[in-house]
Amino acid sequence: MLASINWLKKYVEIPVTPEVLADKLTRVGLEVEQVLHLGEGIDGVITGKVVTIERHPDSDHLWVCQMDLGKGDTVQILTGAQNVHQGDVVPVAQVGSHLPNGMELKPVKMRGLDSNGMLCSAGELGIDAKLLLPEQRDGIFILPVDTPLGADIKAVLGLDDVVLDIDLTANRGDCFNMLGLARECAAVLGTKLTLPDYAPESGEGTPASDRATVDIVASDVCSRFGLRMIENLEIKESPEWMQKLLRAVNIRPINNVVDVTNYVMMELGQPMHAYDYDKVAGHHWVVRRAHEGENLKTLDGQDRALSPEMIVIGDNEKGIGLGGIMGGFETEVTGATKTVMLEAATFNGPTIRRTSKALGLRSEASQRFERGVDTILNHNALNRAIYLLEQMGAGKAVPGVAECYPVPEKPVEIKAAPTKLAARIGCDIDAATMKAILENLDFTVEEKGEDSWVVTVPTWRKDCDCSADLSEEVARMYGYDKIESKTPELNMARGGQDPIEDVKDMIRDTLTGIGLDEVMTYSFYNAQVFDNLGLPADDSRRKALQIINPISDDFRTIRTTLTPCLLSAVAYNQARQSERTAIFEVGRVFIPKALPLTDFPEEKMVLAIAMSGKRNPLSWNTDKDAVDFYDIKGALEEVMNSLQVRGLSYGPTEEVFLHPGKSCAISYEGKVIGFMGAIHPTVQDRFGLGAETYVLEVEIAPFVKSAEEIPQFIHVPQFPSVSRDIAVVVKADVPASELEAEIRKEGGSLLVDVRIFDVYTGKQVKSGYKSVAFNLTFQDVTRTLQDKDVDDVIKQIVANVQDKFGGMLRD
């Protein structure tokens, strides 16, 4: 941000040098990178008038000029420039004067004639060519004919100014204008702020609201849109004082209308645009998103292809502007324009930034919208622009404002305790001092009782929304250098690692130990993944939080499940000819309690596993079978063993993205905590998966208690175990896990292990039934078991299975 000292002095008294001011601003967080003295190196250059001009008698390119320098006589100066004419007023470097390039002017003789000085071009005065009109860039710099003679050229061209180059942080959009910086200057210098003059909105004649209509269709990207009209317009140059100030901050003067919109933007921070009223179809302005395939020719003559997320200002027939970035070519103000409509609006910053980046079109306006523009400022900007144009005699103001402002903005109020503000700073600052600091920055402080304030934040301070921000404001204005460094005097409680972190470490060690690779995916994705998974419209995982300013639309949605993250990773690897993918991630998913968000979302720590392709890496001594359901189930069981978790159960799942015959829900202590299985073929195609893929997702918080238990030592058994096999025939829909649980329950303390080693359906078992074979291991730590001991237990097990499941022993 470039800030002209001469411009700042219009609003605030600055009794210190620019260097001192720069230091003070830097100390309060507005870092001044450079202090630029515009006319540095220029000395003795004044204005002069060409009284006569004749060709050099001995040269075909030199001219002999007799110059009036305002001293009563004339001085002869020779020039080779071809654009000088009798009566022109130009910059003259006198003998003994100095130029920015270090040149000192001396008398010279050119082809036999004396030349006592030099007529100067803009470049020789150090003026950047891009700040000049095309006709001013070549040859001698021609000044207005009414320019006083003998005047110091630095004062004439505004080169007596000093400019501060300020590196503003992204949160200080309020200082991206002269008035905002003047407000900071007034606070640090203890001087008074003077506001500029504005034109009244009232007046005679048909109001603007009856001559134009405004609609905001895309209210999520435009909160306010206002228009003011000026008629009987005369396009001409803006006043010299305005041109000087604009050039000082690197803006090229063009004409009175364009210069006023730029001036107001730099003065107040509100970007503006001017439309030729008669070129707007139906005199109707509508703020909308771009249509698919829409093109718009902008003021720079470029025909730009737009995308649906971009903001377009349209009329009844076409697009007439790219909202917040650049106006349209078809409604450009020209010399023939008689009625102008001035626009001031508030657009969504992240949307403007994405559009600007996509089109490679970054403007002064877009930079301000990206940082945030004060919505309340719209009317001030319109009224200020109308005031300036009327003062120039450019036209007649039409009363009233045509606007659309669906939801008026309310100032932010912050509840704060003065003692806590001071404690956060770490310095004993009394409440009166803090209140004075905040009020100097235009915060309103209302005392609600002892140690209780309600602070109303100025609408232009978008960066302040909590008490910590108030502490920062107090600290920076009080002076960071006044705050002494000292050791915190706090009651320090001994910290410790969250137990769930230990669980995560155990999971990582276990899964990497059996050959899986850990991945870390983004916490954001495109909401399209919910459609790819086929989630129902009422599925809670669709109610995800949306990022206001995502990197791109592919990272707009905060994840509510890890499954699509891992599926995308598997697809990525398969596309690169990976024959085997076995990956896992331990990470958080974010589940909002309600939308719109009223409280922090629930954060669940989740383990997700994905397997696809070959079971084992290619080798001469391993099979080439593909992974199946039991590979991923085995990985889960390894994790459960390491966490000492017992009692995990499996049942039918309703997850629509899983294969109905190769999937299950995972339950623990009576609650469903996850799922696992093969991805449904339809979903597999949507994610671009070439081979059958298995996934698992399970919460890990329920396992913390088991993982924290200290393993107990058990003596090596002194007495032999007894092994028996039984095959139980039950209905096909009876889960094997329920059979196993019942067998363990009836087996009592003598039954030390149960393993399923066969499941059979076929001719030897009637239709609708299955045979499940178990290996049972019995052992007593105090004696050798007899056959009768084991037989009695097995009889009890079989009887209970028959009673509960209608099962029977298979012959």
SS (H, E, C) 51-101: EEEEECCCCCCCEEEEEECCCCCEEEEEECCCCCCCCCEEEEEEEEEECCC
* CA atoms of 62 and 69, how far apart (whole Å): 21
3-state secondary structure of 476: helix
CA distance 336 to 233: 9
CA distance 192 to 170: 27
Q: Which stretches does DSSP call E strand in 99-184?
A: 108-110, 113-115, 117-119, 162-167
CB 759 within 8 A of CB 771: yes
- Looking only at the bridges linking them, the beta strands covering 213-216 and 284-289 are parallel
Whether the Cβ atoms of residue 69 and residue 172 lie closer than 8 Å to each other: no
Q: Tokens for 575? A: 């596309």
Tokens 């004639």 sit at which residue? 113
Task: Name the 3-class secondary structure at 312.
Answer: strand
C-alpha pair distances (Å), 399 with each of 161, 216, 231, 345, 733: 37, 22, 11, 18, 80
d(CA 149, CA 151): 5
Determine whether the annotation assigns residue 463 to a binding site.
yes
In DSSP notation, 193-231 reads B-PPP---S--SSS-HHHH-EEEES-TTTEEEEEEEEEE
Determine whether the annotation assigns residue 128 to a binding site.
Answer: no
473 assigned to a ligand binding site: yes
- Number of C-beta neighbours around residue 615 at 10 A: 16
Are 770 and 729 in contact by the 8 Å Cβ rule? The answer is: yes
Write the DSSP symbol of residue 152: B
Task: Spell out the long-range contacts of 255-262 with Cβ–Cβ below 8 A and sequence spacing 24 or more.
Answer: 256/389, 256/392, 256/394, 257/233, 257/333, 257/337, 257/340, 257/389, 257/394, 258/333, 260/385, 260/388, 260/389, 260/392, 261/342, 261/385, 262/364
Looking at residue 692, its amino acid is E
Alpha-carbon gap, residue 464 to 452, rounded angstroms: 18
Enclosing H/E stretch for 593: none
Q: Is 135 annotated as a binding residue?
A: no
Task: Name the one residue in this structure whose structure tokens are 């771009």.
Answer: 290
Q: For residue 349, how many other CB atoms are within 10 A of its CB?
A: 22
Residue 694: both structure tokens together: 């298995």
How deeply is 647 buried, as exposed, middle or buried, from its count of CB atoms within 10 A (0-12, 13-18, 19+)?
exposed
Sequential DSSP letters for 663-707: EEEEEETTEEEEEEEEEPHHHHHHTT--S-EEEEEEE-GGGHHHH
Which strand (E) or helix (H) includes residue 582? strand 580-591
State the binding site.
463, 469, 472-473
State the binding site for Mg(2+).
463, 469, 472-473
